[in-house]
């Protein structure tokens, strides 16, 4: 059966070369309709431009490809494992031999007389040309050598589906169906932004005539993917601005002076700049929606305090939320100290509070007698009865995407201003996507007095020398230090050092004479607080801990950091940990011990030792890890990118963001007829996650 008029929505079953059985197989990889096939992109290409006749083969390091038919094959056992041996007949002009060790599964698709291509680095071994572990590609019987395209698509496959099946189907259908595709971009836009029209880009991405055309075809789809998301984000920003209302909380010189009196130091240039950005936002009748990125130790807390005091000066309440109780309590101490003898009342909200105590605090919040509320994100939520909430600050946010804004009842009809501070710097391309609807402030540079931290990468044998160094610094100079381990106790699943083991070794060995403390996440909040108190006061000299000390903890006398099984930690985690030291009068020393590592963790650790700038580390980390798992966890609720890659394609992203912002500025509701298709695509893909509602 065949269909009269080709239609992009027609089921693939009726396409030439498909049929009922293969249609079922195609459904398994998400191909139901003709259009699905068009958008089923190759994952790679086989470069046929290096194709040779057998007499043109040359020895050396250059990849070369030959075409021939399978003559015979066998396997034999060798000292290096099972050896698979394939003889390919090159048009009767000679034979090329392919060899594979320990890869018997390759044999599955062998058949005498079957046409194949071998790509590899040939070596002449009389009487044959030999390729070790060549790449093998199966050609259809009908694929005449002359017809083979310069770049053959390599598709992701599934059981029962072969490359040449898909290639043949696409070769047949492309000329018929590609011309039916609908272009979403206005024609002038395509020209202006150097985008290949869809009807050219689709055929080119399947069977590129040359590398340059392939690049342009890919670019078009990457750009489009970024652009549509950036349209959504720009529309969301705009809606935020037009629909939400906040109380304007402007600074005046009197307020400014009063706030600054509270700070024990002069602000840095970066802090001044960011405070200006924040107070400009807060002076408007629309809620601030700002992300503050600063390196570990760059001094974000006083910036937050400035904003909070600004809210309080206008008779509003301000909330300060931290991810952990240890950190929230530290903030509480800092604020209490800085606001000593002031009229500002701070209400602490923590998990372990007695219900009577909590009731009292809630009462104070409801009447407005408490102006600042400090606690953990888990505790501060929608049921808190604010009297007049003007500002929400969220500190050290790791996992925070576009979609999640804490929803807090403000006590009046206005929305609060909003400041989110990151735990560590984030790559620019990630900021633009996951935080793409926020305004961003960057705080670089450190406050004066930050000390240099020297980092060593060390193999386990170096331990003794390092423990000696620590022992000397602690006993002679009164320094303190952290030892960080990835596990609390021994685990069958991980080969890594654990807290118990390390504590036992250190307390009975090199640190016998010191006062040691242990801190980990399974302890109760009071236990943790007690340990932190003892560490701050110097009662504990060396703190052995898991990453609970990772975020924000500030003990200026701690200058020594040991990280055990460092390969277990991510780069931003390591950077956070290192940020705990060098905060006082003395330089810091950090040694990371590692066990067997993969190439990736080796790269990570080397980058860590070499770079101290958190922004550079963030970019490097992203490069090493790749963008792959960014959207994987669904925690951000965003659909994953299909072709774009935030690491590889970041330049295209910057461009798309700028262009999308400009388009929304010129046509806020995307109401112009020529933008209708883009608008539909944007709503289809991001309308829900970005909560765009009815645009226009």
* Residues contributing to the site for Mg ion (CB under 5 A): 552
Task: Select the span of 267-275, 308-316, 383-391, 520-528 touching ligand ADP (CB under 6 A).
Answer: 267-275
Report the alpha-carbon distance of residue 604 to residue 617 in Å, rounded.
9
Whether the Cβ atoms of residue 511 and residue 467 lie closer than 8 Å to each other: yes
Q: Which is nearer to ligand ADP, 22 or 329 (CB)?
A: 329
Q: Which is nearer to Mg ion, 427 or 552 (CB)?
A: 552
30, 209, 449, 521: which one binds ligand ADP (CB under 6 A): 449
Q: Is residue 423 within 8 Å of residue 572, measured between CB atoms?
A: yes
- How is 171-185 classified by DSSP, letter by letter? HHHHHHHGGGPPP-S
CB nearer to Mg ion: give 297 or 436. 297
* Least distance between ligand ADP and beta carbon 424 (Å): 9
User: Count residues contacting ligand ADP (CB under 6 A)?
Assistant: 18
Question: Is 635 in contact with 397 (CB distance < 8 Å)?
Answer: no
User: How far apart are CB 319 and ligand ADP at their closest, in Å?
Assistant: 17
The CA distances from residue 210 to 175, 197, 204, 206, in Å, are: 18, 17, 9, 11
Of residues 295 and 621, the one with the C-beta less far from Mg ion? 295
Secondary structure (3-state) at 25: helix
From CA 592, how far away is CA 460, in angstroms rounded?
A: 10
Return the residue of 265, 456, 494, 533 that touches ligand ADP, per CB under 6 A.
Answer: 265
Cross-strand bridge partners of residue 86: 73, 98
Report helix angle 211-243 to 676-686, nearest 10. 80
Residue 411 binding result from ligand ADP, Mg ion, none, given CB thresholds of 5 to 8 Å by partner type: none
Around Cβ 641, how many Cβ atoms within 10 Å? Answer: 17
Joined together, the tokens standing for residue 219 give 């670019």
Contact between 294 and ligand ADP per CB under 6 A: yes
585 contacts ligand ADP (rule: CB under 6 A): no
CB 444: neighbour CB atoms within 10 A?
15
- Stretch of 82-90, 371-379, 445-453, 646-654 contacting ligand ADP, by CB under 6 A: 445-453
User: Does residue 613 belong to the site contacting ligand ADP (CB under 6 A)?
Assistant: no
Nearer to Mg ion, 64 or 422 (CB): 422
Cross-strand pairs, 419: 290, 393
Among 65, 137, 239, 268, binds ligand ADP (CB under 6 A): 268
CA 433, 438, 442, 447 torsion: positive or negative?
negative
The residues, any chain, with a CB within 8 Å of residue 126's CB and separated by 6 or more, are none
* Neighbour tally for 10: CB within 10 Å: 15
448 binds ligand ADP (CB under 6 A): yes
Min separation Cβ 579 and ligand ADP, Å: 6
6 binds ligand ADP (CB under 6 A): no
Q: Return all residues near 358 (Cβ < 8 A) that are at least 6 apart.
A: 349
Rounded Cα gap, residues 438 and 444, in angstroms = 19
For the bound state, the minimum distance from the C-beta of residue 311 to ligand ADP, rounded and expressed in Å, comes to 18
517 vs 552, which CB is nearer to Mg ion?
A: 552
Task: Quote the least distance from Cβ 246 to Mg ion, whole Å.
Answer: 25
CB of 201 to ligand ADP, least distance (A): 45
667 contact choice in ligand ADP, Mg ion, none (CB below 5 to 8 Å, kind-dependent) = none
| Segment lying near ligand ADP (by CB under 6 A), choices 31-39, 125-133, 370-378, 444-452 | 444-452
Q: Does 552 bind ligand ADP (CB under 6 A)?
A: yes
Nearer to ligand ADP, 557 or 601 (CB): 557
* In the complex, minimum distance from the CB of residue 611 to ligand ADP, in angstroms, rounded to a whole number: 17
213 interacts with, out of Mg ion, ligand ADP, none, CB within 5 to 8 A per kind: none
Q: How far apart are CA 235 and CA 696, in angstroms?
A: 10
Partner whose binding site includes residue 481, from ligand ADP, Mg ion, none (CB under 5 to 8 Å by kind): none
Nearer to ligand ADP, 220 or 583 (CB): 583
Selected from 360, 445, 447, 687, the binder of ligand ADP by CB under 6 A is 447
How crowded is residue 276: how many other Cβ atoms within 10 Å of its Cβ? 12
Shortest distance (Å) from residue 295 CB to Mg ion: 10
Query: CB under 5 to 8 A by kind: which of ligand ADP, Mg ion, none does 256 bind?
Result: none
Strand pairing category for 542-545 and 516-519 = parallel
* Under rule CB under 6 A, residue 554 binds ligand ADP: yes
Residues 299-328 that bind ligand ADP (CB under 6 A): 299-302
Cα Rg, the chain, nearest whole Å? 31
Q: Does 297 bind ligand ADP (CB under 6 A)?
A: yes
Would you state the structure tokens that stand for residue 587, as one six-digit string?
């330089």
134 binding partner (options ligand ADP, Mg ion, none; Cβ < 5 to 8 Å by kind): none
Q: For residues 68 and 144, give the distance between their C-alpha atoms in angstroms, rounded to a whole number.
A: 11
Residue 381 DSSP symbol = S
CB 300 → ligand ADP: shortest distance, Å?
3
Q: Which listed range, 86-94, 220-228, 253-261, 446-454, lies at the site for ligand ADP (CB under 6 A)? A: 446-454
Comparison of 204 and 321: residue with beta carbon closer to ligand ADP: 321
Which of Mg ion, ligand ADP, none interacts with 297 (beta carbon under 5 to 8 A by kind)? ligand ADP
Residue 626 and residue 636 in contact, taking contact as beta carbons nearer than 8 Å: no
C-alpha distances in Å from residue 231, one per residue of 224, 315, 392, 432, 667: 10, 37, 27, 12, 11
Select the binding partner of residue 65 from Mg ion, ligand ADP, none (C-beta < 5 to 8 A, by kind). none
Location of structure tokens 């010191």: 514
d(CA 15, CA 198): 21
Neighbour count for residue 572 (Cβ, 10 Å): 22
Minimal CA–CA distance to 640: which of 626, 654, 651?
626
Residues contributing to the site for ligand ADP (CB under 6 A): 265, 267-268, 271, 294, 296-302, 447-449, 552, 554, 583
């Amino acid at each position: 059966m065949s269909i009269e008029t080709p239609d992009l929505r027609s089921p693939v079953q009726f396409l030439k070369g498909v049929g009922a059985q293969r249609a079922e197989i195609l459904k398994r990889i998400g191909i139901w309709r003709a259009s699905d096939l068009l958008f089923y992109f190759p994952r790679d290409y086989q470069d046929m431009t290096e194709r040779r006749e057998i007499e043109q083969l040359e020895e050396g390091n250059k990849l070369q490809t030959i075409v021939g038919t399978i003559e015979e094959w066998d396997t034999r056992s060798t000292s290096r494992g099972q050896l698979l041996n394939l003889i390919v007949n090159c048009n009767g002009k000679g034979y090329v031999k392919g060899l594979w060790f320990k890869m018997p599964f390759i044999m599955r698709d062998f058949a005498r007389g079957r046409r194949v291509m071998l790509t590899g680095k040939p070596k002449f071994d009389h009487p044959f040309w030999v390729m070790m572990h060549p790449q093998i590609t199966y050609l259809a019987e009908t694929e005449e050598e002359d017809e083979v395209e310069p770049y053959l698509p390599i598709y992701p496959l599934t059981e029962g589906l072969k490359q040449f099946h898909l290639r043949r189907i696409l070769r047949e259908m492309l000329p018929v169906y590609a011309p039916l595709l609908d272009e979403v971009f206005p024609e002038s836009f395509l020209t202006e932004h150097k985008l290949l029209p869809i009807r050219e880009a689709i055929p080119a991405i399947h069977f590129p005539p040359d590398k340059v055309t392939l690049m342009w075809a890919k670019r078009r789809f990457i750009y489009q993917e970024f652009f549509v998301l950036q349209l959504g984000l720009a529309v969301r920003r705009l809606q935020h601005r037009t629909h939400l209302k906040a109380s304007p909380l402007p600074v005046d010189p009197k307020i400014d002076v009063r706030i600054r009196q509270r700070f024990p130091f002069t602000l840095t240039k970066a802090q001044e700049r960011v405070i200006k950005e924040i107070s400009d936002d807060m002076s408007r009748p629309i809620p601030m929606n700002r992300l503050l990125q600063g390196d570990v130790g760059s001094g974000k807390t006083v910036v937050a305090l400035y904003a909070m005091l600004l809210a309080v000066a206008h008779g509003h309440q301000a909330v300060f939320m931290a991810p952990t109780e240890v950190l929230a309590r530290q903030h509480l101490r800092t604020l209490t100290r800085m606001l000593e003898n002031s009229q500002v009342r701070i209400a602490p909200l923590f998990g372990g509070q007695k219900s009577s105590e909590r009731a009292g605090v809630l009462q104070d919040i409801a009447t407005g007698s408490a102006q600042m509320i400090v606690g953990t994100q888990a505790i501060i939520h929608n049921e808190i009865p604010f009297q007049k909430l003007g500002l929400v600050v969220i500190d050290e946010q790791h996992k925070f995407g576009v979609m999640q804004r804490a929803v807090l009842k403000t006590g009046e009809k206005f929305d609060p201003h909003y400041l989110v501070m990151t735990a560590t710097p984030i790559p620019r391309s990630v900021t633009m996507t996951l935080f793409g609807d926020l305004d961003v402030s960057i705080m670089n540079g450190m406050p004066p007095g930050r000390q240099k931290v020297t980092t060593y990468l060390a193999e386990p044998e170096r331990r003794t020398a390092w423990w000696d160094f620590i022992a000397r610094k602690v006993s002679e100079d009164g320094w303190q230090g952290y030892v960080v381990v990835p596990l609390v106790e021994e685990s069958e699943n991980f080969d890594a050092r654990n807290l118990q083991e390390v504590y036992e070794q250190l307390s009975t060995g090199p640190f016998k004479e010191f006062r040691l403390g242990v801190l980990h996440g399974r302890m109760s909040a009071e236990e943790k607080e007690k340990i932190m108190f003892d560490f701050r006061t110097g009662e504990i000299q060396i703190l052995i801990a898991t990453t609970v000390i990772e975020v924000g903890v500030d003990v200026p006398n701690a200058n020594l950091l040991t990280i055990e099984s460092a390969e277990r930690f991510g780069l931003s985690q390591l950077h956070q940990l290192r940020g705990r030291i060098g905060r006082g009068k003395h330089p810091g020393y950090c040694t990371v011990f590692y066990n067997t590592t993969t190439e990736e963790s080796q790269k990570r650790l080397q980058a860590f030792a070499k770079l101290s700038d958190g922004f550079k580390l963030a970019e490097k980390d992203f490069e090493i890890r790749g963008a792959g798992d960014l959207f994987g966890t669904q925690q951000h609720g965003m659909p994953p990118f299909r072709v774009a890659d935030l690491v590889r394609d970041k330049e295209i992203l910057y461009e798309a963001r700028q262009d999308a912002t400009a388009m929304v500025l010129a046509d806020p509701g995307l109401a112009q007829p020529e933008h209708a298709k883009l608008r539909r695509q944007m709503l289809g893909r991001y309308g829900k996650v970005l909560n765009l509602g009815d645009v226009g």
